[in-house]
Amino acid sequence: MSNTGGDPPLTRRQIRQVRQIHERAQHTLVEPAPPKPASRAGRNLPAAIAVGLGLLGLLILSLFVREEAFVVLVLLATSGGLWEFARALASRDIRVPLLPLWVGNAGIVVCAYTAGPDAMLVAFFLTAGGVFVWRVLDGGGLGAVRDASAGILASAYVSFLAGFAILLLIQERGPWLVLAFVFAAVASDTGGYIAGVLLGRHPMAPSISPKKSWEGAAGSLLLAGAVGVGLALLVLDAPWWAGLLLGVGAVITATVGDLAESLLKRDLGVKDMGTLLPGHGGILDRLDSLLMTAPASYVVLTTFVS
């Protein structure tokens, strides 16, 4: 019988091959295994610990070997933070003029070290004016004022607040004051992180930072308060309540700084400000609590300690 105009009939061997292919496809299209639950730590903990200890060692060396090394360290950290800030804002088409920010950053830090708070404030205002003029001359338009305002915010947030750490450095027993301020802020972060991971049940600000909890805040108060009191009695030769005030102040400002950066990142649609520090994110992700804590610690330490 002729099969003209149609496909030839399948042989039994071909039918078996089709069935085998169909069975293999069914086995392949099974429901995928559920993903493994994410670690409650929320980060690469070994890398975070290693990087944190390395940064702490670098900080101590810069403070007690040669003070100018700490100034250079602050310059490098703030310059990197400004770069991350500008890059994050660029994702929303905000053009922050980075070169005048870097120049102004150096001016703010150096003036704080060589001439004190008044010169630091003048350097900040000059930076703000320079950023505005630079952005306008670089091309006006509707976005010029917005971009210049973002640049001034970056200078205030990163450079000016970091200048208070330099102001602590130039006090009597300056390296110890800087170390006390850093330890109080780190203790707040560490205590909040540990208590939040182990006990966190009640979110503090779920729409901004879902992982931050009231249990974590209690852990921050306990550890930062204990570290502050210990530093006051053993290192700073100050009353215990001054150390407690330092610790409690660090918890408030570090929490505000962390939430403020979380809100900024949420608005910009980024998870981290950068990737330079494994386990921590970017430089600003590590500096957020320190920047806000620096001026408050300066007030406490210069009033009740130095």
For 4-37, write each residue's pLDDT tens digit: 445 555 566 666 666 666 666 555 444 444 444 4
- Return the closest-CA partner of residue 287 out of 144, 182, 174, 175: 182
- What is the phi/psi pair of residue 251, to 5°? -65, -45
Percent of the chain at pLDDT > 70 equals: 83
Domain assignments of the chain as residue spans, ordered by start: 59-170, 174-271+280-306
Residue type, 230: G
Phi-psi region of 116 (alpha: psi -120 to 50; beta: other; left: phi over 0): left
The three-state DSSP-derived secondary structure of 55-101 is: HHHHHHHHHHCCCHHHHHHHHHHHHHHHHHHHHHHHCCCCCCCHHHH
Dihedral pair phi/psi, residue 203, rounded to 5°: -60, 140
pTM over 0.85: no
Please name which of 229, 107, 225, 216 lies closest in space to residue 162, comparing C-alpha atoms: 107
Residue 33: what pLDDT?
45
pLDDT digits (tens, 9 = 90+) for 51-102: 778 888 899 999 999 899 999 999 999 999 999 999 989 888 898 999 999 9
User: In sequence order, what are the residues at sequence separation of 6 or more whose Cβ sits closer than 8 angstroms to the Cβ of residue 273?
Assistant: 81, 84, 85, 88, 261, 265, 281, 282, 283, 284, 285
Evaluate whether 256 touches 284 at the Cβ level (below 8 Å): no
Compute the distance between CA of residue 74 and CA of residue 246 in angstroms, rounded to an integer.
Answer: 22
Which residue in 54, 287, 305, 279 sits closest to 186, CA to CA?
287
